[in-house]
Amino acid sequence: MVLSVEQKRADFWKLHEAGCFVIPNPWDVGSARMLQNMGFKALASTSSGYAWSTGRPDNHVTCDDVLAHLKLLNDATDLPVNADFEAGFADDPAGVAANVTRGVATGVAAISIEDSTGKADAPLYDSKLAIERIRAARSAIDATGGKVMLVGRCEGFLVGETDLNKVIARLVAYAEAGSDCLYAPGLRSKEQIAAVVKAVAPKPVNVLMGGPGFSVAELADLGVRRISVGGAMARAAWGGFIRSAREIVEKGSFGGFANAAAYAELNAAFVRKA
């Protein structure tokens, strides 16, 4: 059964109503289909994972590249897709709005907009401008008539702004500007996570798990509604690739293939049923 874009979006909103779910991040069609086969209920794109798959570093792909990638992911599975839309591929609110409109047209169920500038001397957009950018994204989504979720991201903890109160102030402002879900990658402690959840309630919070740490049950107990993994799955795949290749180069042996997925399992997973 092929689900409509409208049904995918409705399914995605329903996932946020209660409980806690994991939204893994595929980087291509194959990884997206495999995750659907494994029973996940939604997917999120990953800017880093996608960039690496094209031989480029994170934040070095164009808006057109990402739009084409999102369309591929949406067409590849029956799962709703949350778009990692970086900073909207524009500095000014009007530019963000125009690009978000194009993003909605790919069929995504959600679009994330972050407040990172990519500039070492001023890593976050000025708070006022950051809020205007979120408000512009909200207006653009509403103008399309599509039921698309807007995720407001504060990148403070990733760029050296570790004052939790300042990060929370931004998240609250993004919620008031129209974000439906809030996200501050880099939170490390239960106390930080609980404080964010409380501050933006009743709106849902996304937490990033990029390595070993809290379990799904622990994050659910803190009130987290959804958990994403960013580029971690892509890094895990690249880790296996690099280790096996390095063994061939350095030792002339092939032990790295011992834990490889079985040919039959992969082949069977990608047979599309009518």
Over range 5-29, report the average pLDDT. Answer: 97
User: Using N-to-C axis directions, what is the helix angle for 232-251 and 29-37, rounded to 10°?
Assistant: 110
- 239: CB partners within 8 A, 6+ apart: none
DSSP state of 124: B
Q: What angle do CA 151, 155, 161 make, to 5 degrees?
A: 145
User: What per-residue confidence (pLDDT) applies to 1?
Assistant: 56
Q: What angle do CA 58, 244, 56 make, to 5 degrees?
A: 15
Torsion angle in degrees (nearest 10) through CA of 17, 70, 124, 170: -10
Give the tens place of pLDDT for each residue, 126-162. 999 999 999 999 999 999 998 999 999 999 999 988 8
- 273: CB partners within 8 A, 6+ apart: none
User: What per-residue confidence (pLDDT) applies to 271?
Assistant: 85
Q: Which residues pair with 23 in a beta bridge?
A: 228
Torsion angle in degrees (nearest 10) through CA of 99, 52, 75, 3: -90
User: What per-residue confidence (pLDDT) applies to 273?
Assistant: 67
User: What per-residue confidence (pLDDT) applies to 274?
Assistant: 54
Going through the chain in order, the beta strands assigned E by DSSP cover: 21-23, 43-44, 81-84, 110-114, 149-153, 181-183, 205-208, 226-228
Q: Does 3.30.420.40 match the CATH number of domain 5-231?
A: no
Give the tens place of pLDDT for each residue, 219-253. 999 999 999 999 999 999 999 999 999 999 999 99
User: What per-residue confidence (pLDDT) applies to 145?
Assistant: 92
User: What is the rounded CA–CA span in Å between residue 82 and residue 41?
Assistant: 12
Average pLDDT, the chain: 96
User: What per-residue confidence (pLDDT) applies to 84?
Assistant: 97
User: What per-residue confidence (pLDDT) applies to 107?
Assistant: 97
**H helices, E strands: number in the chain:** 11, 8
- 161: CB partners within 8 A, 6+ apart: 123, 124, 167
Give the tens place of pLDDT for each residue, 161-218. 889 999 999 999 999 999 999 999 999 999 999 999 999 999 999 999 998 899 999 9
Q: Which residues pair with 182 in a beta bridge?
A: 152, 205
Whether residue 27 contacts residue 53, with contact meaning beta carbons closer than 8 Å, is answered with: yes
Rounded to two decimals, the pTM is: 0.94
User: What per-residue confidence (pLDDT) applies to 146?
Assistant: 87
Residue 136's CB: how many other CB atoms inside 10 A?
23
Whether residue 270 contacts residue 30, with contact meaning beta carbons closer than 8 Å, is answered with: yes
User: What per-residue confidence (pLDDT) applies to 148?
Assistant: 98
Across the beta sheet with 226-228, what order do the strands follow? 21-23, 226-228, 205-208, 181-183, 149-153, 110-114, 81-84, 43-44
Residue 245's CB: how many other CB atoms inside 10 A?
11
User: What is the rounded CA–CA span in Å between residue 45 and residue 82?
Assistant: 6
Over range 250-273, report the average pLDDT. Answer: 91
Tokens at 243, concatenated: 């280790």
